[in-house]
Chain A
Amino acid sequence: MEKSRPLWDNPLQFVFACISYAVGLGNVWRFPYLCQMYGGGGFLIPYFIMLIVEGMPLLYLELAVGQRMRRGSIGAWKTISPYLCGVGVASVVVSFFLSMYYNVINAWAFWYLFHSFQDPLPWASCPPNSNRTSYEAECARTSPTQYFWYRRTLNIAPSLEASGGLQWEQALCLTLAWLMVYLCILRGTESTGKVVYVTASLPYCVLIIYLVRGLTLHGAVNGLIYMFTPKLEQLANPKAWISAATQIFFSLGLGFGSLIAFASYNKPSNNCERHAVVVSLINSATSIFASIVTFSIYGFKATFNYESCINKVILLLTNAFDLEEGSLTADTLGAVRARLAAAHPHQYAELLPQLKNCSLEAELDTAVQGTGLAFIVYSEAIKNMEVPQLYSVLYFTMLLMLGIGSMLGNTAAILTPLTDSKFIATHLPKEVISGLVCFINCIIGLTFTMEAGNYWFDIFNDYAATLSLLLIVLVETIAVCYIYGIRRFEKDLQTMIGHKPSWYWKIMWAFASPLLIISLFIFYITDYILTGTLQYQAWDATQGQLVMKDYPGYALAVIGLLVATSTMCIPLGALVTFISRRLKRENISTVA
């Protein structure tokens, strides 16, 4: 008789695990960017429509499959149809790629967290150069926060080809990040179930503190007004709808197998329909909540930069024309400039190139996403607050919690199929399997700590999961609706939950979601074909800014390999099953 499956202690642990997994860094650093790009408050319309059309139904589908089959992704899809074992393998491969590069973000969060215990913060000002006559050249060309990120943290190479050496500091932080993840998954659901209480709730505490702090900052209102003024004309832009669909899709973490893994540890009578609705609503609400915080921080930073710009212009004019100190203020600036231009035209004309036109709109318009937002923009805002060390520690702890929560889901997606497989489970105990997975991922992840590591990180971030996931989820939906049969699935749900799913769910599963995914898929393929050569942003130390460069041949090969490895698993799995069945049938027929 097989050993009984470990279970969550209570349904709350399961909900917290799903929230901890779904609410990740994307809610904090991608959604505010999309909101800003595609019409502010108006973006919420396509966002909610996509949530109802694809988010909730697909989440419910995955949770139901996991809970019904009570196995990880490989076992679950094999039970639905033996030809679909490739889908499970593809999920595991994608999760493996994701966990390889995702933990590097936690390593960076650790790095910034450890550096927050200093006064002043290391990214507050530029360091002096070797003979202490002025500031470091690279830092003087850009800002201290960007210098700290690109030089002190990443020590980034000028291009992908110049790979450079391993950064021992980053390697140490990465090792610590993997040890932390190992500690949390060591005992399976027993330890994960307790950890998710912390990783799910702590980010909300920090976000509330930041909300209160953010709203009381000078200039925060500017950011909020800017964000919430709906620019409804953006709704006509198809990119807005596609971005909303993509954001919902990737934010919920569908297709990785983590949700199936989590749900497989549920009691069969668990009400996964209610949980699916709750988790998806909380995920979206967190995105909106995080963007309120982000926009008040944006507003503060933009106002601060705008006022600094104005003060610089005032100082320049005061020094050049030897005016009395304090006679020139922001209000009188325009009038005084006109007067000076008339009185001393020659001198004014010489000075003109240095006098920047300061604009609050321009500062607010600088939309940033990804690591740039999290590590550069936020740290710039934090250094200007009072008691910056406290806010810095809180913020980077929050980033860590979000990152580790998502890592727990990723590793669960890899480990659950491995521990389910009888072959591996009989030979190795659970702790050793988890340890091996963490160790292998850590070793491969050391590539991302090299000088050109951040460029490889961008490759993985942009290409490892996007296309493959769309394909995986499409096959999943079609498999459940048409191969397994939606009537059979209905009956299973009735046995589990007690009532059949309503017509809304059935229509979404059978028609709306697959159609949406197919259109997303077509859009991505055409986008890749139309853009031609793929480019990346490289940091140019001599200019102090990012420049576009083309990917070298081997990088393009790696991208192709990433996409191919995961997508090819699906047809290969079906082929292998077909061949092995054929061989078995032949064997039986020859024996008989």
Chain B
Amino acid sequence: MLRVLLLAFSVVAVAHAELCKPDAQNAFKVRLSIKAALGDNAYAWDANEEYLFKAMVAFAMRRYSSKSTTQISNVLLCNVTDRVSFWFVVTDSTKNVTTVPGSEVEAAIRMNRNRINSAFLLNDKTLQFLEISSTLSPPVESSTPVWLTVFGVVLCLTVAGIVFLIVSGIQRHKKKSKESSETENLEEKCEVTVTIENGIPCETLDSKAGHVNGVYAADDERFTSL
């Protein structure tokens, strides 16, 4: 009995070994860079982490095709190296000793990449599924590009400055021309301005008729009569 069991076990093990080996059909290589991602907080890769990995892959397969009955035992890992890289393959429990097609596995992993990454505290670069390309995050685009906003602000300030300078220049020019026309009028007036001497207008002094000086006004009574 024991021998039969042992034989069956070894057959399964051999079959599994054949299913999971480097470059096998539908097998994927995984590479983790835990030290690069976490530095001092890096955890060691041991059997427990492997168990978690198998669980995450099974979870991904279940989520991808909801009818799937993938168990943790369906996920086979092999060739674990010090790099922390290994190959894995997902077997199909319904069909005997076959692997789930690579395209399905790829699609499942792709769909749940974020969940798998966060389970291990890694990202797309540090938890690499070679052959499964990750979808790059789209560039952050706002409705109006940022540069247009800044451009608009600077443009408005510059145009405002130009308009201000031009308008003040025109006003200054108008004031100057008004002032210069006023000074011209004033000059014309000045030519006929009366020149004043000792407070008495010269014209009156110039008059031919002459003026009688009130001080020396003849006072007949003062002169002695002959």
Contacts and interface: CB of A to CB of B under 8 A. Distances in A.
Interface in A448-472: none
B33 interface: yes
Contacts of A182: 162
B135 to A, nearest CB: 5
Interface of A: 110-111, 113-115, 117-118, 127-128, 132-135, 172-173, 176, 179-180, 182-183, 186-187, 191, 318-319, 322-327, 429, 431
Given A118-B146, A325-B35, A133 B136 contact: yes
B202 interface: no
B85 interface: yes
B147 A179 contact: no
B84 A176 contact: no
A182 B169 CA distance: 14
A426 to B, nearest CB: 14
A482 to B, nearest CB: 44
Contact of B135 (A110, A133, A324, A429): A133
Closest 10 CB pairs of A and B: A114-B147, A322-B81, A128-B136, A324-B82, A322-B83, A114-B150, A325-B35, A132-B136, A179-B158, A326-B35
Contact of A187 (B34, B147, B159, B165): B165
B199 interface: no
Given A111-B147, A115-B147, A180 B83 contact: no
29 contacts: A110-B151, A110-B154, A111-B147, A114-B148, A118-B146, A128-B139, A132-B136, A132-B137, A133-B135, A133-B136, A134-B136, A135-B136, A172-B151, A173-B151, A179-B158, A183-B165, A186-B165, A186-B166, A186-B169, A187-B165, A191-B165, A319-B31, A322-B83, A322-B85, A323-B82, A323-B83, A325-B35, A325-B83, A327-B82
Given A117-B147, A182-B162, A431-B169, 8 more contacts: A114-B151, A132-B135, A180-B158, A186-B169, A187-B169, A319-B85, A323-B83, A327-B82
Interface in B145-183: 146-148, 150-151, 154-155, 158-159, 161-162, 165-166, 169, 173
Given A117-B150, A179-B159, A325 B165 contact: no
Contacts of A325: 33-36, 82-84
Interface residues of B, number: 31
Nearest to A114: B147
Contacts, number: 79
B133 interface: yes
A528 B155 CA distance: 43
A502 B138 CA distance: 70
B83 A324 contact: yes
A177 to B, nearest CB: 10
B49 to A, nearest CB: 14
B151 A176 contact: yes
A113 B33 CA distance: 37
B109 to A, nearest CB: 15
Contact of A319 (B83, B148, B150, B155): B83
Given A118-B146, A179-B158, A325-B33, A127 B166 contact: no
A118 B147 CA distance: 9
Interface string B116-157: 000000000000000001011111000000111011001100
A327 B83 CA distance: 9
A135 B135 CA distance: 10
B146 A117 contact: yes
Contacts of A187: 165, 169
A252 B151 CA distance: 32
A93 to B, nearest CB: 27
Contacts of A327: 82
